[in-house]
Amino acid sequence: MHFRDVEKRQTISRLEMAAYLRAPAAPLVVRGAMQGWPAMKHWSLDFFAEHFADFPVMAHAPQFPGLAICSVKTTLGNYVDYLRNPGKGRIKGEWLKGDPATLLKSGLSLYAGNFNPAHPKYGDRDFLFRYVPALPDFIECWRSLLDPGFNRACEWLQSHHFVYLSVAGGVTPLHDDFWDTHAFLAQISGRKEAFLFSPDRMPVLYDEQTGNVRAMMDDPKFADVEGWRATLMPGDMLILPSRWLHYVETIETSITYSADWIDATNWRSYVASATEALAGETGSPS
Ligand SMILES: O=C(O)CCC(=O)C(=O)O
Ligand SMILES: [Fe+2]
């Protein structure tokens, strides 16, 4: 595998962004994207423990349940206690897979990826959007053009806003995001390392079932695969165009806000995927 650096720029306009995503798209870091966001000043682990202590979360190592060697069902309050002191691998909650010894031996840390402070039941949308915009001004989103009932059903079924709290050893395995959305990772604090691959690499990369890009780097089978890499610092926003594959390591205690969107390039496949997902649902939203 070999990597080139993701392009970094200071600002981007709405028109430039729309053109960029049509281009064909590539990943991009916008460095000044979060200037003036209250989150940059006010968000900390304590902030979330104080306001969302009872929010139910699943913490996995690595982040996705299907690949996890450790899984714990807990609350955001207990998860933040763990993040403050991960050294012993102890966390209050129900261990569904693995144990503290397995976790410590792996070098991974537990990572809760399902914390959505805008969640209709457990979150508080108005409160969240006092600190971050739902989407930055330079992003044009077509969601408001969808039928309102369909849009609401999509939001109930699938979170579209996330806050990721993690510590060193937190790994998000290689994947592309749900329903062909574009997404951003807005690094509020701490540092992460991201590795990305274009959608046309998907067939060869999914040969490897672990999503572990570090292991792939040493595997001759992937010697010719070209990827992109970026170190995300506080204030950096990584743009992940629809279907781009990404693998992310947390280097130091991090807070990341993430949201996704649709536009001219991906609304058809979003609607098709969402319709299929909704058809598979039975019963009422919970
Ligand atoms: O660890 C990260 O910041 C990446 C998270 C991510 O891409 C995801 O959960 O879809
Ligand atoms: Fe993702």
What is the position in ligand 1's atom list of the atom closest to the CA of 113?
9
Token pair recorded at residue 37: 């966001």
Which protein residue has the closest C-alpha to ligand 1 atom 6? 172
Which protein residue has the closest C-alpha to ligand 1 atom 9? 113
Give me the number of domains the chain comprises.
1
Tell me if 164 CB under 6 Å of ligand 1.
yes
166 falls within a domain: yes
63 falls within a domain: no
Complete DSSP assignment for 77-137: HHHHHHHHSGGG---SSEEEE--HHHHHHHT---EE----TT-TTTS-HHHHTTTS-SS-T
Put simply, whether the predicted model's pTM sits higher than 0.85 gets the answer: yes
- pLDDT the model gives residue 19: 92
The rounded percent of the chain whose pLDDT value lies above 90 is 92
137 falls within a domain: no
Q: In the predicted model, what is the mean pLDDT of residues 207-219?
A: 90
224 falls within a domain: yes
- pLDDT the model gives residue 67: 95
Mutate to test the pocket of ligand 1, among 116, 176, 246, 253 (most ligand atoms within 8 A of CB): 246
217 falls within a domain: yes
Task: Name 27's Cβ contacts closer than 8 Å, sequence gap at least 6.
Answer: 6, 7, 196, 228, 230, 238, 239, 240, 241, 244, 246
Tell me if 266 CB under 6 Å of ligand 1.
no
Q: In the predicted model, what is the mean pLDDT of residues 228-251?
A: 97
Q: What is the CATH number of the domain that holds 270?
A: 2.60.120.650
73 pLDDT higher than 50: yes
271 falls within a domain: yes
Tell me if 177 CB under 6 Å of ligand 1.
yes
Which protein residue has the closest C-alpha to ligand 1 atom 10? 177
165 falls within a domain: yes
30 falls within a domain: yes
- pLDDT the model gives residue 182: 97
pLDDT digits (tens, 9 = 90+) for 124-145: 999 999 999 999 999 999 999 9
Which protein residue has the closest C-alpha to ligand 1 atom 2? 248
Q: In the predicted model, what is the mean pLDDT of residues 266-282?
A: 92
The rounded percent of the chain whose pLDDT value lies above 70 is 98
- pLDDT the model gives residue 286: 41
176-204: b or e for each residue (b if 16 or more CB lie within 10 Å)? bbbbbbbbbbbbbbbbbebbbbbeebeee
Give ∠ CA 110-255-129 in degrees, rounded to 5.
125
Centre of ligand 2 to C-alpha 46, Å, is 25
pLDDT digits (tens, 9 = 90+) for 8-56: 999 999 999 999 999 888 999 999 999 999 999 999 999 999 999 999 9
User: Which band of pLDDT confidence, cut at 50, 70 and 90, is reported for residue 285?
Assistant: very low
Tell me if 62 CB under 6 Å of ligand 1.
no
**Mean pLDDT score of the chain, rounded to an integer?**
95
pLDDT digits (tens, 9 = 90+) for 149-159: 999 999 999 99
284 pLDDT higher than 60: no
For 233, the domain range is 2-36+161-278
Q: In the predicted model, what is the mean pLDDT of residues 66-70?
A: 96
